[in-house]
Structure 1
Amino acid sequence: MPQNGRVPPIKVLRVITRLNIGGPAIHAILLTSALDDGVRFTSTLVAGTTAPHEGDMLDLARARSVEPIVLPALGREINPLDDLVALARMVQLVRRLTPDVVHTHMAKAGTVGRVAARICGVPLVVHTYHGHVFHSYFGAAKTRVFLTIERALGLLTDRIIVVGDGQRDEIAGYGVAPPGKLESIRLGLELAPLLHAEAARGRLRQELGIDASTPLVGIVARLVPIKAHEAFFDAALRIREALPRVEFLVVGDGERRQALETLVQRRGLSPAVR
């Protein structure tokens, strides 16, 4: 209701499973910061905890004046007790903050956040798919379970946002939601830091002591199964046959770090990989 002739800001509660290093966390932080002018919108960000092997994006959040509310029980792995605790805490939080919109990101937050929002009667429930686990992640039985859950959650959701038209077609094809409920919105990128990137050319080579004439090939990705670093190292072996002096940079961290270091040694790539 208007107060003193003014329409109160729309209150957005954004929920993400964890603020691990990656695109979804950056997106959630930037959205929370941008939709928080106190006039049209106020935004609150809720996040679970990162795993011990993961870095986080808390520095970016603080730089954007975003102070997330952390729910320790909200985590990536399935744990029935923790998941029930997370749901109970989320219901308490939603009832206290009385948001107009609950917008969830990533699978676990999408489950806990959407169920809590419906329990509390939130007017608008939105979920963003930054990717999905409907193929290439798990075996057939586990994938069917996740699909069943996501289809049920789709019924609880007013609008589902996907980050590209191809993903929209996939989500619709899996029966998660009808096409009319899906909205394709491509992620915005902050290009300002890249406008003067040319000035930094050669700096990394200098820091690593790599000669300017040495061919350099890199991969920037989390060290997790879906990123398929094996394909990068397969290509590295073939490239070295043609360019013996080439060097390779692997930028990232994650649960597969030790396994990939072992793989590099086993394939004889250690002298060429950093």
Structure 2
Amino acid sequence: MKIMHVSTRLILGGSQENTVFSCAGQADDGHEVLLVFGPIEGPEGTMLPTVEAHGGIVPVETPDLVREISPRRDLRCLGNLRRLIREHQPDVVHTHSSKAGILGREAAWRESVPAVIHTIHGLPFHPYLAKSKNAVYIAAERWSARRCHTIVTVADAMRDQALAAGIGRPAQYRTVRSGMVVEPYLDDSISMLETRRNLGLPEDAFIVGTIARLAELKGHDDLIDALSSKMREDPTLHLLWVGDGYWSDRLLGRIRDLGLGDQVHAPGLVSPERIPDWIRAMDVLAHPSYREGLPRAVVQGLLSAKPVVAHDLDGAPEVCIDEVTGLLVRPGDQQGLATAIERLRSDPALGLRLGAAGRELVRGPFDHRSMVRELEAVYRTVLERPGTPR
């Protein structure tokens, strides 16, 4: 099978990891895999070295595939994608993210690709955007849904929200969990204390960690607002922020202004292979994001048997089940966020129970091999339909 994946930005991020693991697994299964992406810019890192190190994925950068709306560049990109499709003759074009999804599906549809698939990792429209922008995004997604055979979602919540907005038909949708290499998260051979020593973190601190870009809507301000007073009273309460982003200087400036620089650890960008170590060093993984598909960081925390606190929105409740595998907080409820974290600090047995239940819930469905198998089944279902061109 010839498979072409199209993704807007190959930065260090959840949807990009999903895409690269899909490509790698499919290449390992003997398929010809092409990964098309736009320019990689900014402080958020790149997955390109991982792609190149694999050796079985053909990476192609197309210069006009950019996140921003740019009619002239978008038209050039559409032409480039059509040219690549004609050159490589893929059986499947699988698009990821909003811009790549809109242009990639249109290009594949015009070129009569036998199977056109799109994955919704997170919807481009949300309550924190202006109504006019949301209207444009919804119209574009409705239009693009008519130009693909199947829409994959990483969470049932994404399917439900898309259908509520009039995007696609129920029969088009299939939920496939966002896979990852689970074994490093399941490895309990190294203790939390030893990990902290290796990473230079304080052994006696209670560490609340996040794995997220330092960016808008990721909830770092909520953690500051929820915990800063308690942190000033208690020097053993620490934050660990793994990630980088455009808000890094502002957020770390807030920390310095509050006099909490010694209690907030910000290692910046970390390679995906090192994420299990940083999670192992945490007492609690907090994910107070305001917009997600199904947050991989939450799944990674659960795989690591850590208690998780997350906002009750989008796909998070499908894995962070309140009082069963984690604690959910109403978005924006900073007091509720502080209370949930304090509950876990004061009741270690609760954290152990939630973490164990969470690990058991996610260890199978989020294995990257499960994702690759399920995606191949999606492709073959489309390709084996009567009338599909060969």
Using the size of structure 1 for normalisation, the TM-score is 0.89
* 2:111 alignment counterpart: 120
Q: 2:12 aligns with which of 10, 13, 21?
A: 21
Moved more, 141-150 or 235-244: 235-244
Instruction: Look up the match of 1:6.
Output: none
Q: 1:86 to 1:181 in 2, by over 3 A?
A: same
Matched, 1:229 2:203: no
* 1:238-272 Cα deviation digits (max 9, x unpaired): 44266332221111011111221222233443232
- 2: distance between equivalents of 1:137 and 1:219? 22
Of 178, 184, 195, which aligns to 1:193? 184
Aligned length: 264
- Which of 94, 98, 105 matches 2:85? 94
Q: For residues 209-251 of structure 1, what are the alpha-carbon distances to aligned partners after superposition, in whole Å with 9 as ceiling and x for unaligned?
A: 4432222221110112121211121222144266332221111
Aligned match of 2:37: 47
Residues 85-164 of structure 1: pairs in structure 2 closer than 5 A: 85-164=76-155
User: How far has the Cα of 1:49 moved from its partner?
Assistant: 1.5
User: 1:63 aligns to what?
Assistant: 53
Match for residue 210 of structure 2? Answer: 219
- Which shows bigger deviation, 234-243 or 132-141? 234-243
Letter in 2 for 1:196: D
Query: What residue is the counterpart of 2:174 in the other structure?
Result: 183
Query: Structure 1 residues 190 and 229 mapped into 2: Cα distance closer, same or farther (>3 Å)?
Result: same
The amino acid of 1:30's aligned partner reads F
User: 2:235, 2:263 within 8 Å by CA — same for their partners in 1?
Assistant: no
Specify the code of the residue in structure 2 equivalent to 1:134: F
Residue 217 of structure 2 aligns to a residue whose secondary structure is helix
Over the matched positions of the two proteins, sequence identity in percent amounts to 34
SS in 2 for 1:36: helix
User: Residues 200 and 84 from structure 1, CA distance in 2 versus in 1: closer, same or farther, beyond 3 angstroms?
Assistant: farther
CA contact (8 A) 2:95 2:119 kept: yes
Residue ranges of structure 1 left out of the alignment (5+ in a row): 1-9
Deviation at 1:195, TM superposition (A): 3.2
User: 8 Å contact 2:216–2:247 — kept in the other structure?
Assistant: yes
Q: C-alpha displacement at 1:108, in angstroms? A: 0.9
3-state SS in 2 of match to 1:94: helix
* Residues 208/32 of structure 1: CA separation in 2 closer, same or farther (3 Å cut): closer
RMSD in angstroms over aligned alpha carbons? Answer: 1.9
Alpha carbons of structure 1 residues 260 and 159: separation in structure 2 relative to 1, 3 Å: same
Mapped partners of 2:198, 2:247: distance in 1: 26
Q: In structure 1, how many angstroms separate the alpha carbons of the residues matched to 2:25 and 2:111? A: 26
Name the CA distance, whole Å, in 1 between partners of 2:183 and 2:207: 25
For 2:39 and 2:29, the matched residues in 1 are separated by 27
